[in-house]
């Protein structure tokens, strides 16, 4: 792993530390040649093929759709859809391509200077010359990697929540978009643009082979955090723990909800949620929930620790299943909680680190206490797969 203060071409010569302190969640960064000599593992036709598959999330954005301006339709599409499209003025977007194309998933290894569990997915878009999804703002951090062809990017500052949107259309497109000085570039293959949340941007295809990969991150909203944690912790609180007022004095006005009542309920609430270890246990589960729950396929035939040991000793290798999410939390010196796809296991720290950091897991891990049994559980849950291509 490259250290935090080594300059990286992926970050325009900045170290991870410099990038994080100067740009992450703060200001955009244009990175020429982030991936030198980059060749897209996908072609526009491959993307169209993915967009025709059942269970793959895809969208078509048409500036002048059959029914209205900026029309969005959702896949799966068929050949007839692509046949009717005009020469220009549309974009095809396919979500989570890293779940289906291992060569696209491999790109994620380059982003090891960020917590893996902050990653959402790699969305890939194709647009013929002139195609775009309109000027807009996203609520998440994104690295926009130009994978083939050229795209003209323009940035329009941070318009804030009150920015006016074009009314009556399917998309949240800004009504007013003014390009800021010097925030206007044409990206070539291998170039990349980092955008923090909230920055207005507009990317227009400048060639008929324009493919852009969006390496997107996710951050739950305060609403999601409060609601989901309350659900999780609530289940553990039990029925007998209740609002109590043993300090009650007789009210002057029986209808009044006085300060003491509010303070009692505030204390109960704060006491119920101020539990760092439960927060960690919930957050690990939440941040490793699969993007698509139905894509986590448990093994059809259960494997055993002995079978896993034999496979690894025979040269077999395991990898995280495409789309699977892993993280860990230290419990004490010899134990961590391993989170995988929203579930947990108690685990040795060395095994958890290998599971999260290594692209391939081999027999060397069998020295770690309990490794074969944990690996077998993860294979059975569908979070780990053998390297022989048993991935669907």
Residues at the interface with ligand SIN (CB under 6 A): 91, 125, 133, 138, 142, 201, 203, 212, 214
**CB-count exposure of residue 325 (10 Å: 0-12, 13-18, 19+):** buried
Select the binding partner of residue 377 from Co ion, ligand SIN, none (C-beta < 5 to 8 A, by kind). Answer: none
Per rule CB under 5 A, is residue 154 in the interface with Co ion?
no
**Smallest distance, ligand SIN to C-beta of residue 116, A:** 21
**Smallest distance, Co ion to C-beta of residue 301, A:** 43
Select the binding partner of residue 203 from Co ion, ligand SIN, none (C-beta < 5 to 8 A, by kind). Answer: ligand SIN
Select the binding partner of residue 95 from ligand SIN, Co ion, none (C-beta < 5 to 8 A, by kind). Answer: none
Of the pair 62, 341, the CB lying nearest ligand SIN is at: 62
**Smallest distance, ligand SIN to C-beta of residue 75, A:** 16
**Smallest distance, Co ion to C-beta of residue 214, A:** 7
Of the pair 10, 193, the CB lying nearest ligand SIN is at: 193
**Smallest distance, ligand SIN to C-beta of residue 227, A:** 26
Nearest CA to 214 among 155, 143, 152, 148? 143
H helices present in the chain, as ranges: 16-22, 44-51, 79-84, 102-105, 222-234, 259-273, 276-287, 305-313, 349-357, 371-381
C-beta separation of 275 from 233 below 8 A: yes
Length of the chain measured in residues: 392
C-beta separation of 340 from 377 below 8 A: no
CA distances for 49 relative to 26, 41, 152, 192, 210, angstroms: 37, 14, 25, 25, 16
CA distances for 85 relative to 62, 91, 131, 146, 206, angstroms: 9, 10, 12, 23, 18
CA torsion sign, 373 to 374 to 375 to 377? positive
Select the binding partner of residue 133 from Co ion, ligand SIN, none (C-beta < 5 to 8 A, by kind). Answer: ligand SIN
Residue given tokens 């659900």 in the structure block: 231
Of the pair 40, 91, the CB lying nearest ligand SIN is at: 91
Select the binding partner of residue 290 from ligand SIN, Co ion, none (C-beta < 5 to 8 A, by kind). Answer: none
**Smallest distance, Co ion to C-beta of residue 136, A:** 6
**Smallest distance, Co ion to C-beta of residue 172, A:** 10
Select the binding partner of residue 347 from ligand SIN, Co ion, none (C-beta < 5 to 8 A, by kind). Answer: none
Nearest CA to 382 among 311, 249, 290, 312? 290
Tokens found for residue 194: 């980092």
The residue number with the shortest CB distance to ligand SIN is 125
Residue 148 per-residue DSSP state: E
Q: Look at residue 124 and give its three-state secondary structure.
A: strand
C-beta separation of 72 from 47 below 8 A: no
Phi, psi of 92 (to 5 degrees): -115, 130
Tokens found for residue 374: 């944990």
Nearest CA to 314 among 350, 275, 366, 279? 366
Of the pair 88, 236, the CB lying nearest ligand SIN is at: 88
Of the pair 16, 142, the CB lying nearest ligand SIN is at: 142
Of the pair 88, 330, the CB lying nearest ligand SIN is at: 88
Interface map 105-144 toward Co ion (x if CB under 5 A):
---------------------------------x------
**Smallest distance, ligand SIN to C-beta of residue 186, A:** 15
How many residues bind Co ion (CB under 5 A)? The answer is 1
Select the binding partner of residue 134 from ligand SIN, Co ion, none (C-beta < 5 to 8 A, by kind). Answer: none
**Smallest distance, Co ion to C-beta of residue 133, A:** 7
Select the binding partner of residue 337 from ligand SIN, Co ion, none (C-beta < 5 to 8 A, by kind). Answer: none
Of the pair 127, 356, the CB lying nearest ligand SIN is at: 127
Round to whole Å and give the CA distance between 372 and 349. 15
Of the pair 96, 142, the CB lying nearest ligand SIN is at: 142
Interface contacts to Co ion, rule CB under 5 A: 138
């Amino acid at each position: 792993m490259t250290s935090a203060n080594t300059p990286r071409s992926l970050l325009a010569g900045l170290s991870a530390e410099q990038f994080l302190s100067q740009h992450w969640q703060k200001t955009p960064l244009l990175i020429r040649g982030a991936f030198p000599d980059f060749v897209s593992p996908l072609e526009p036709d491959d993307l169209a093929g993915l967009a025709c598959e059942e269970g793959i999330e895809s969208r078509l954005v048409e500036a002048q759709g059959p029914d209205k301006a900026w029309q969005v339709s959702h896949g799966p599409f068929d050949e007839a859809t692509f046949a009717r499209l005009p020469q220009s003025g549309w974009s095809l977007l396919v979500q989570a391509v890293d779940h289906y194309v291992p060569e696209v998933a491999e790109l994620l290894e380059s982003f090891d200077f960020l917590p893996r569990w902050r990653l959402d997915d790699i969305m890939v878009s194709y647009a013929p010359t002139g195609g775009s999804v309109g000027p807009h703002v996203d609520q998440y951090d994104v690295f926009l990697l130009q994978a083939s062809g050229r795209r003209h990017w323009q940035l329009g500052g941070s318009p804030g929540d009150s920015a006016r949107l074009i009314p009556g259309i399917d998309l949240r497109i800004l009504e007013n978009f003014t390009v800021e000085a010097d925030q206007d570039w044409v990206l070539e293959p291998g170039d990349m643009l980092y955008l923090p949340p909230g920055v207005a941007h507009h990317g227009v295809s400048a060639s008929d082979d324009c493919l852009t990969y969006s390496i997107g991150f996710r951050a739950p909203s305060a609403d999601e955090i409060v609601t989901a944690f309350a659900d999780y912790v609530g289940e553990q609180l039990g029925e007998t723990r209740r609002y109590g007022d043993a300090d009650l004095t007789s009210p002057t006005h029986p209808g009044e909800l006085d300060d003491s009542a509010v303070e009692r309920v505030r204390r109960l609430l704060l006491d119920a949620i101020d539990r760092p270890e439960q927060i960690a246990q919930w957050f690990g589960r939440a941040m490793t929930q699969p993007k698509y729950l139905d894509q986590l396929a448990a093994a059809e035939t259960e494997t055993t620790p002995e079978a896993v040991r034999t496979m690894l000793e025979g040269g077999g290798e395991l990898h995280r299943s495409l789309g699977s999410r892993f993280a860990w939390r230290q419990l004490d010196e010899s134990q961590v909680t391993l989170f995988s796809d929203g579930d947990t296991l108690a685990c040795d720290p060395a095994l958890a680190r290998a599971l999260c950091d290594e692209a391939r897991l081999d027999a060397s891990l069998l020295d770690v206490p309990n490794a074969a049994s944990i690996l077998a559980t993860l294979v059975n849950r569908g979070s780990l797969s053998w390297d022989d291509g048993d991935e669907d």
